Amino acid sequence: MKALLIAVLAAAVGTPAYAQHAGHTMPMQAPAADPHAGHDMNAKPAPAPQPDPHAGHDTGTATPASPPAAADPHAGHDMGTMQPAAPAGPTDPHAGHGMGTMQPAAPASPADPHGGHGMGPEAGPAPVLPEAPPPPAAFSGPRHAADMLFDPSDMARAREDLRVEQGGATNYRVMVDQLEARIHDGRDGYLWDAQGWYGGDIDKLWIKTEGEGSFGEKTEEAEVQALWSRAITPWFDFQAGIRYDFRPDPERGHLVLGLQGLVPYEFEVDAAAFVSDEGDVSARFEAEYDLLITQRLILQPRAEVNLAAQEVRELGIGSGINDIELGLRLRYEFAREFAPYVGVEWERKLGETADFARDEGEGVDDLFFVTGVRIWF
């Protein structure tokens, strides 16, 4: 049973990655699912094999026509050999092709015989020259030309500044996605859900916090996560770190492994697995979507599912799916950074967790009206 649940959890965590591939046939991220697995990847180094332009040249006539692909004299050539291994050698592949006639001796002539050489977009395939490495002369001289004329240490400083500026900047964002009052007959409460990150394009420090409670009572749930976040695909970050629950009692620490990002159809998802300091394994999966009614009026459906691999009686958690939360929030962006909202949230405890709740005399589902504000900076 436990093994089964762990498998379920793994699947939950893996869901975004799977969904990503499903919609996109992304071979690079799922080598096993590579649709091109059967393709001869050896063809890859050849820069987009195209009809050989020299076929036309060889004829001696200036008519490129459409070179019959089957008659391509270079078809059997390994393009690698076209790249001068010894760059000192004859690098001009046209050497034997009578290039003299190629030179536009009378460039302005309307009868330019090269007009048909595919120089223009409509003129057929562009001539393919070998993609060769630069000749040896290109590697001569100093590494940095300006070092010859200016203080090399000044140049080194300027170079480092330039390097960092062009792509290496550090940024941050603090997003308070939900800061809301929850209106419920006789038991009004509050909830917060915020995330902040600091870092570069690839590696970030990511802080998450969420919690909730009833007004006038002790906070029921409060947790903080500190994660290292690393971009692993164009749309997904892998995250690892720790989570600490200040509430409920007893306090608990967890290790966190997760994936956060954007799946096809623009759903933002956050899936994480937790191992507590008691060895309990649990997982959480969240997804939300922004539906633009107008440029500023945005409807956000949201779902969250919590799972556990084993029961934790003292916290009222059973094994299996613990609960599911569905929310719908309508916000108005006065500014991108400031958007008040109203909405509804429905929560339902399931399975053993629901049984525990019933034992305690609590309800197993709840419907709230919520109102709050989304703020970021």
| Residues between 76 and 105 with contacts to another protein, criterion CB under 8 A | 91-94, 99, 102-105
Near another protein in 138-157, by CB under 8 A: 138-142, 144-146, 148-151, 154-155, 157
Residue among 165 and 360 whose Cβ is closer to another protein = 165
Residue among 99 and 367 whose Cβ is closer to another protein = 99
**DSSP track, 275-331:** EETT--EEEEEEEE--EESSSSEEEEEEEEEEEESS-BGGGTB-SEEEEEEEEEEEE
122 makes contact with another protein (CB under 8 A): yes
120 makes contact with another protein (CB under 8 A): yes
Bridge partners (DSSP) of residue 331 are 298, 341
With contacts defined by CB under 8 A, name the span among 10-18, 160-168, 313-321, 345-353 that binds another protein.
160-168
Do residues 375 and 179 lie in contact, with contact meaning Cβ atoms separated by under 8 Å?
yes
Near another protein in 267-296, by CB under 8 A: 291-296
How many CA atoms, within 13 angstroms, populate the side-chain half-sphere of residue 19?
Answer: 22
Residue among 35 and 361 whose Cβ is closer to another protein = 35
With contacts defined by CB under 8 A, name the span among 8-16, 176-184, 216-224, 225-233 that binds another protein.
225-233
To another protein, the closest distance from the beta carbon of 32 in angstroms equals: 15
Residue among 144 and 187 whose Cβ is closer to another protein = 144
Binding mask 230-269 for another protein (x = CB under 8 A): -xxxxx--------------------------xxxxx---
Near another protein in 163-182, by CB under 8 A: 163-169, 171-173
Cα 94 from Cα 91, distance rounded (Å) = 9
Angle, CA of 177, 256 and 305, to the nearest 5°:
55
* Residue of 309, 300, 227 lying closest to 268 (CA atoms): 300
CB-count exposure of residue 86 (10 Å: 0-12, 13-18, 19+)? exposed
Bridge partners (DSSP) of residue 367 are 346
